[in-house]
């Protein structure tokens, strides 16, 4: 079997007297949606922060494309093609979707105008429109402020921004939280489209039916360690809940 695209091996992380990760393992492969689940306090957020450069583990190893890597900052992860979409979305509400897509990566006009800091708004909107269309995202107007968009549309903009710059891995933390049924399905469809582009999508979610509907594999954390792995097609809701609560230690995968 091919090596994982991104892998955590025996990661540890302590905050004071709290052991957030106790030898956690994790793996993500190209072209799949892998769900990372666990109860509150299981270590999911800490693991994701370590794998996206926001935090650094105290021990263990992170491997990317089958070689060890050390990420000091999110910029290090981004250079590897790793992006993340967090629950707060981190969108600039007063800017339009195109400006948000290029936030921190703005395109400048050519020549002296570029030297003067003049942005190439037309080119950014053209490229944004193409990026949204590729993911099947429908927006009323890419020049409309994000604050005027629906919850599902804002979530889709946040996903598209990460996908536009991610060439390898995208972490999505509760991407459908607080969305209605129709909006949720649209976001899940975007996730499938991202996977079909060959990108590894790591879905962090408490919504078990959603996990079963969109993921290809599931990895379960409990008390800072991976305790179970499932192929989604072979798993049931009861299996996932049992692994999360400790009633099931599938494969004995505490290592």
Tens-digit pLDDT profile for residues 172-230: 888 877 677 777 787 788 889 889 999 999 999 989 999 999 999 999 999 999 999 99
Q: What is the CATH topology of the domain spanning 1-81+166-255?
A: Rossmann fold (3.40.50)
HSE-up (13 A, CA, CB side) for residue 235: 27
Q: Are 128 and 120 in contact (CB under 8 A)?
A: no
What percent of the chain has pLDDT above 70? Answer: 94
pLDDT at residue 178, as a whole number: 67
Q: Which tokens is 236 given?
A: 């049931």
Q: Which tokens is 187 given?
A: 């976001």
- Weakest-pLDDT range from 103-117, 125-139, 163-177: 103-117
Rounded CA gap, 170 and 213, in Å? 18
Torsions phi, psi of 192, nearest 5?
-65, -40
Token match 């954390």: residue?
221
- Confidence grade of residue 81 (pLDDT, cut at 50, 70, 90): very high
Rounded CA gap, 174 and 205, in Å? 5
Torsions phi, psi of 151, nearest 5?
-60, -45
Model's pTM, two decimal places?
0.83
Q: Are 164 and 101 in contact (CB under 8 A)?
A: yes
Token match 């007297």: residue?
17
Sign of CA dihedral 129, 170, 70, 58: positive
Give residues with Cβ within 8 angstroms of 148, minimum separation 6: none
User: Is residue 230 helix, strand or coil?
Assistant: strand
- Confidence grade of residue 252 (pLDDT, cut at 50, 70, 90): very low
Give residues with Cβ within 8 angstroms of 90, minimum separation 6: 158
What is the overall mean pLDDT for the chain? Answer: 87
- Confidence grade of residue 254 (pLDDT, cut at 50, 70, 90): very low
Q: Which tokens is 119 given?
A: 């942005």
Residue that wins the pLDDT comparison between 213 and 91: 213
9-22 mean pLDDT: 95
Length of the chain measured in residues = 255
| Domain boundaries, given as residue ranges, for the chain | 1-81+166-255, 89-165
Residue that wins the pLDDT comparison between 30 and 178: 30
- Weakest-pLDDT range from 70-84, 135-149, 174-188: 174-188
Q: What one-character-per-residue DSSP string does 151-182 give?
A: HHHHHHHHHHHHHHH-SSEEEEESTTTT--HH
Beta bridge partners, 11, equal: 24
Beta bridge partners, 6, equal: 28, 64
């Amino acid at each position: 079997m091919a090596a994982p695209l991104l892998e955590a091996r025996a990661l540890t992380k302590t905050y004071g007297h709290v052991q957030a990760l106790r030898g956690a393992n994790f793996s993500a492969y190209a072209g799949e949606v892998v769900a990372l689940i666990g109860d509150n306090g299981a270590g999911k957020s800490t693991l994701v922060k370590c794998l996206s450069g926001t935090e650094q583990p105290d021990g263990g190893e992170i491997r990317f494309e089958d070689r060890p890597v050390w990420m000091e900052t999110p910029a290090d992860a981004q250079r590897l093609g790793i992006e993340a979409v967090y629950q707060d979305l981190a969108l600039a509400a007063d800017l339009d979707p195109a400006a948000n897509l290029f936030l921190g990566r703005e395109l400048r006009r050519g020549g002296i105008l570029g030297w003067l800091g003049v942005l190439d708004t037309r080119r950014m909107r053209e490229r944004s429109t193409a990026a949204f269309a590729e993911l099947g995202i429908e927006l009323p107007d890419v020049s409309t402020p994000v604050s005027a968009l629906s919850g599902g549309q804002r979530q889709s903009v946040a996903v598209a921004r990460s996908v536009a710059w991610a060439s390898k891995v995208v972490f999505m933390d509760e991407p459908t939280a607080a969305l209605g049924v129709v909006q949720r399905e649209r976001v899940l469809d975007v996730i499938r489209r991202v996977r079909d582009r060959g990108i590894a999508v790591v879905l962090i979610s408490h919504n078990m039916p959603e996990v079963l509907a969109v993921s290809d594999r599931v990895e379960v954390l409990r008390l800072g360690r991976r305790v179970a792995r499932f192929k989604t097609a072979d798993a049931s809701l009861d299996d996932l809940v049992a692994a999360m609560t400790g009633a099931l230690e599938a494969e004995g995968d505490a290592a």
